[in-house]
Amino acid sequence: MSTPSKTVTLDSRQTLIVTATNLFQKQGYYATGLNEILSLAGLPKGSLYHHFRGGKVDLAIACVESLAGQIVLHLQRATLSQQSYSELISQLVRQADTWLQSNNWSCGSLFATLSHEAKPEDLALKASLKDSYRCIQEALAQLLQEQGLSESKAADVALSTVFSLEGALSLSAALGSAGPLKEAETLLLLRVSESMQ
């Protein structure tokens, strides 16, 4: 339909991004070797360096941008469909919960992982992470403004949302319990209700 019937297999560039993202989330950046990614993706090394001139770092940046794009799109759709902030948070927490559970609590946020592992000289990677966080925060702020919050309050709550969920996700994985995620939900609902009063 949408694809003009090229081959049965997915675009190999996309395959690399997906498998790399999964591995990075489960083991981190440096713990994941190129060979591991390639064998899992069923592709040779030549393909990787064809699609990603800069090698591993380029691939990581593509992963970040891809994921950020998906999240922003999700938030924009939620805004358009007038989904309430509380619903959104509950939904995200639920999704994160089942995701962690079905992966034996052995995975984490791609952004957080790469942020922690990026060396000071990895400027491009750091820039793309910063940008991703900024875009996500902005999309969230938009949704909050749509619900009556002032621009500055929306920005604050959006920021709180991002770091709370990141932190809760990380801690839930480390503790092997959904506790932190659930706590983050109540924390954020309290925060937004106070901002809307």
Q: Is 118 left (phi over 0), alpha (psi -120 to 50) or beta?
A: beta
Site residue total, its own copies (CB under 8 A): 47
171 near its own copies, rule: CB under 8 A: yes
Nearest to 168 by CA among 159, 158, 178: 178
Write the DSSP symbol of residue 1: -
Task: State the DSSP string of 39-93.
Answer: HHHT--HHHHHHH-TTTHHHHHHHHHHHHHHHHHHHHHHHHHTT--HHHHHHHHH
Q: What's the CA gap between 75 and 78, in Å, rounded? A: 5
Contact pattern for its own copies over residues 69 through 108, marking x by CB under 8 A = -----------------------------------x-x-x
Residue number, 51 or 184, with CB nearest to DNA: 51
Q: Which is nearer to its own copies, 14 or 186 (CB)?
A: 186
Query: What kind and span of H or E run contains 164?
Result: helix 151-175
18 binds DNA (CB under 7 A): no
The one among 48, 113, 140, 178 contacting its own copies by CB under 8 A: 113
Q: Does 189 bind its own copies (CB under 8 A)?
A: no
Number of H helices, E strands in the chain: 9, 0
Quick one: what does residue 19 bind among DNA, its own copies, none, with the CB cut-off 5 to 8 Å set by partner type?
Answer: none
Residue 7 lies near DNA (rule: CB under 7 A): yes
Asked whether 108 and 169 are in contact (CB, 8 A), the reply is yes
Residues that bind DNA (CB under 7 A): 6-7, 12, 30, 32-36, 43-47, 49-51, 54-57
Contact positions vs its own copies (CB under 8 A): 26-31, 104, 106, 108, 111-113, 115-117, 119-120, 126, 129-130, 133-134, 156, 159-160, 162-168, 170-171, 173-176, 179-180, 183-184, 186-187, 190-191, 194
